[in-house]
A and B are shown apart, each in its own frame.
Chain A
Amino acid sequence: MITLQHYLVLSILLFMTGAIGMVVRRNMLIAVMSMQIMMIGACLSVLAFSRWNLLPEGKAIAMLVVAASSAVALVGVAFVLSVFKDRKSASTDELNSLRG
């Protein structure tokens, strides 16, 4: 029998994977993708809570979070490409100054 705890453990695993990717990897594109994984893991827990607590508002919240994460991804990819164009590298180690 699959319970709420199963979904919560899965969402924690996904969230932790994304957090590790954001901390460990130096590539900015991987960092943005890890952020997407974290957001989807959070959405999974929201949907699981909404299913088990009989609250359909959770689905609306999950949809809005997914849409907002697409906006974050748009700006993130544009930023990564802009940095790569300027510095010929997508590594976060190269971002050591705020000079434009």
Chain B
Amino acid sequence: MHQVLFYTFGALSVICAAAVVSRKNLQAACLALVLFVMSISVLFSILSSNYVSVAVILIMIVSVALPYCLAAIAIGRRSPSRRYAIRFERILGASAVLYLALVLCVAIAKPPFLPAPMTGEAFSASPALGRILFSSCALPLEMVAVAIFTSAIAASIIRKRRTHPDDEGIIL
């Protein structure tokens, strides 16, 4: 089962990454990025990194894919291939439903098919990750926190900047 999961979601992640790169339609590319993040989170979960998998879903989809989608709506407003985008959205929706069904099955069945952690419970336990984050990785954690705070301020400053006084800007 480990092999099936790896090959399925590995192929799905590569296909979605290729779709992000190759598609002309920006909205479809953003939706492909969402599906890519979903498939890669399953791969993280296979690697006994459940906490990182959840963090990837939360961080990437909420704070990354949502601004991407808004920017794609603002930039690619006159996209000619809307029909293909709608078809792609349907495929994405079906894939998301399948993904959620798989996650529910995994959560309910307490699966024996997922590989056992190589170092026992200590490797996959979240308290161990918390101890590492707040002890040996405390300085990088603080630096990333400062970087996120600074980038939020920088993003708002960049968006507020107006070079032309009569420019009305983009309404999101």
Contact = CB atoms under 8 A, between A and B. Distances in A.
A47 B22 CA distance: 27
Interface of B: 2-3, 6, 10, 13-14, 17-18, 20-22, 26, 29-30, 33, 36-37, 40, 43-44, 47-49, 51-52, 55-56, 59-60, 63-64, 67-68, 71-72, 74-75, 118-119, 122-123, 128-129, 132-133, 136-137, 140-141, 144, 147-148, 150-152, 154-156, 158-159, 161, 163-164, 167, 169-170
B40 A71 contact: no
B79 to A, nearest CB: 12
A47 B52 contact: yes
Interface of A: 1-2, 6-7, 10, 13-14, 17-18, 20-21, 24-25, 27, 29-30, 32-34, 36-37, 40, 43-44, 47-48, 51-52, 54, 56-57, 59-64, 66-75, 77-82, 84-86, 90, 100
A54 B133 contact: no
Contacts of B20: 21, 30, 33-34, 37
Tell me the interface secondary structure of chain B in the complex.
helix
Contacts of B60: 36, 40, 66, 69-70
A90 to B, nearest CB: 5
B47 A85 contact: no
Contacts of B6: 2, 6
B26 A72 contact: no
Nearest to A54: B119
